[in-house]
Structure 1
Amino acid sequence: MSDTPQSPNESDERASVEDGVSEASAEASIAGLVEAERALEAEEAAVAEAEDAAEREEPQDDETVADPPAPATPEPAKKAPAAKAAPAAKAAASKKPPARRSLAVLGSPIAHSQSPALQKAAYGVLGLDWSYEPVEVTEETLAGFMDGLGAEWRGLSLTMPLKKAVLPLLTEVDLVAEQTGAANTVLLDGEAVRGFNTDVAGIVRALAGAGVASARYVHILGGGATAASALVAAAELGAERVDVHVRDLTRSVWLEPLAHELGLMVRLRSLAQADRSLDVPELVISTLPGGTRPEVLYTDSTRRRAVLFDVAYEPWPSTLATAWAAVGGTVVSGLAMLVHQALLQVRIFVSGDPLEPLADEDAVLAAMLDAVGIDAAGVPLEA
């Protein structure tokens, strides 16, 4: 018996069916996949074209478009960045400092302070509409006062007894404040609360104005925070020896490590011994509080030869200044230091940098000197 021959198509079809899938159905599946892929590509192209068209129609910041046409295809992904940008812009705007800034000088007592007159004179020349007022603040109330300051606050000037008390409240301090353990200037710079000591430079610049550029042997009267600034200033003037005369030796021993760090030979002595040395100092810096009668009496010869720089300026003339003037000695008023340290404070409040000169700084300094009634040498002007 012989087999009946089969055509090739019949053979292939039987083989395909035997494998469980017909060739016709497989081709139909492939065609469906290709058509679906083409449809997806067309849909993606349509979405991309709609997005491009929406971007071209979107107005710029300085343009206004009335009733823009709604896009044919919803664009939730495109609108999400715009929704996020608005709060960010609002936050940035809220952090922008106001044009009018607030500043103050803090201390107790503070009513006598000349700082408002100085600072207001400076801002008048600079054309800045900034306020600067005296505020009675004690060591106990300082932290609460600073916590309550708003975004309009730019900075603070500090007098006694706050120069040391402020240190724990600062996020950073400059080198001089770190050396002396005292900050007389606070810059409120965003989240940062930065402390500076401008007293040292104020002393050096005030003495330079009076013609004192160097001093080998210096007496310092008093052992408080300003005495530490005077010690650093003496080192900047090239001093080799410094005698610090104080009422209570035990409360002033903290000055010795600072003097040694500065490379100074230092002696702590009582005020009663201030004029017991045969060596006449070239410079006497008194940091004693104004209105107190010092327990010290220098000879006429010493008062003629040594320059007196009296940090106190209220009341004026001080007891020491009167004694120096009686023999024709040279006296530099504490107002000169106040002016120069305040000038550096203004630099800090304006630019954040005590080394950055102000615009037209000579005019600013002249206005500040005039505001407190002294000349460039620190001598009170005649009434």
Structure 2
Amino acid sequence: MSSVAGRAAVLGSPIAHSLSPVLHNAGYRAAGLEGWEYTRIECTAEQLPGVVAGAGDEFRGFSVTMPAKFAALEFAGESTERARAIGSANTLVRTGAGWRADNTDCEGIAGALDELLGGAPVRNALVIGAGGTARPALWTLGAWGVEKLCVLNRSDRSNEVRPLVRGAEVDFVGFDADIKRLAMEAEVIVSTVPAAALAPYAEELGHAPVVDVIYDPWPTPLATAAAANGHRTVGGLVMLAAQSYSQFEQFTGVPAPREEMRAALFAHVSAGEA
């Protein structure tokens, strides 16, 4: 008889760099969940249906990263309202009827915003990027009651964004706009694009508190520029931890030991093991 009480894994490609096992395995230890283990599985979008459908009964859930998030939502027999609104899923949970899709990336964004702003409301936000990584950020800002949202992106994707932010005034601008003025008007900047792509614009944009989804390398040029101007910054590690707590709870059915999970993640990265 197997000694494994429960299993979970993160799916994606490439996946060897994922820090999710650090978070979840630390959570199992802290919660006293003996026999639980969390691993990485290399998995493309095309492979996801076969991998999940073929998983043994001991698998209680999967975290899902790119490029398989859209496939995860399509595969699941049921899904949460927020996963459907965002249009992708980073979480698959085994249920009595099959698999349920959820998106806890929005909780990651909310955790980062809360740490950055201490729970203060956000009325005017600047979001950089409008792709799949941006969608949870846009949904979360909408849930926080943002009134004015400026999306800095190379193409206008207004029709995709407006339903996510539920009634806010939304403007799309390109990088030829007066982005320094837009940054200075914003109460928070959320960047969802690669650090290198934004490096040429960092000095112009670094005039507001920043949430940057990147955690490696850290600090990003944008975070460095904002900090140099006296603004607080929060990076992707905070988001990674915050999005994992709900996953842990959905997989195991027990409260996530949040402090221990976060401490393990930051200790792991500080030790240079990432």
User: What TM-score, normalized to structure 2?
Assistant: 0.88
Instruction: Tell me how far apart the structure 2 counterparts of residues 369 and 291 of structure 1 sit (CA, whole Å).
Output: 27
What is the aligned partner in structure 1 of residue 206 from structure 2? 303
The equivalent position to 2:130 in structure 1, one of 212, 215, 223, is: 223
Say if 1:98 and 1:152, in contact at 8 Å, map to a contact too. Answer: no
Q: Percent identity?
A: 36
Quote the residue 2:10 is aligned against: 105
SS in 2 for 1:178: helix
1:133-163: CA deviation from partner (whole Å, max 9, x where unpaired): 1222111222221222111111010112221
The residue that corresponds to 2:192 in the other structure is: 287
| Corresponding residue number in structure 1 for 2:108 | 202
**Given the alignment, which residue of 115, 123, 134 partners 2:20?**
115
1:370 pairs with 2:266: no
- The 5-angstrom pairing of residues 58-77 of structure 1 reads none
Q: In structure 2, how many angstroms separate the alpha carbons of the residues matched to 1:340 and 1:328?
A: 25
Alpha carbons of structure 1 residues 136 and 381: separation in structure 2 relative to 1, 3 Å: closer
Q: How does 1:86-235 map to 2 (within 5 A)?
A: 100-128=5-33, 129-210=35-116, 211-235=118-142
Question: 2:135, 2:161 within 8 Å by CA — same for their partners in 1?
Answer: no
How far is the alpha carbon of 1:307 from its aligned partner? 1.1
Cα deviation digits, residues 160-211 of structure 1 (max 9, x gap): 2221122221111111101111111000123321011111122112321332
- Kindly tell me: are residues 325 and 257 of structure 1, through their superposed partners in 2, closer, same or farther at Cα, counting changes over 3 Å? closer
Q: Which has the higher strand share?
A: 2
Structure 2 residue matching 1:123: 3-state secondary structure: helix
Q: Which blocks of at least 5 consecutive residues in structure 1 are unaligned?
A: 1-96, 352-356, 375-379
SS in structure 1 of the partner of residue 216 of structure 2: coil
Letter in 1 for 2:16: A
Q: What is the CA RMSD across the aligned residues, in angstroms?
A: 2.5
- 1:288, 1:294 within 8 Å by CA — same for their partners in 2? no
Using the alignment, how far apart are the partners of 1:273 and 1:348 within structure 2? 43
2:195, 2:201 → 1: CA distance?
15
Mark the runs of 5 or more structure 2 residues left unpaired by the alignment: none
Q: How does 1:199-278 map to 2 (within 5 A)?
A: 199-210=105-116, 211-249=118-156, 252-259=157-164, 262-273=166-177, 275-277=179-181
Amino acid at match of 2:133: T
Residue equivalent to 1:31: none
Contact 1:103 1:131 in 2 (8 A): yes
Partner of 1:332: 234
Shift in Å, 1:319: 1.9
Count the aligned residue pairs: 267
Aligned to 1:73: none
Distance in 1 (CA, whole Å) between partners of 2:176 and 2:52 is 41
Shift of 1:225: 1.8
The answer to whether the Cα contact below 8 Å between 2:83 and 2:89 also exists between their aligned partners in 1 is yes
Residue 287 of structure 1 aligns to which amino acid in structure 2?
Answer: T
Higher relative contact order (CA 8 A, sep 6+): 2
Alignment check: 8 A CA contact 2:106 2:136 kept: yes
Bigger radius of gyration among the two: 1
* Aligned-partner Cα distance in 1 for 2:178–2:66: 25
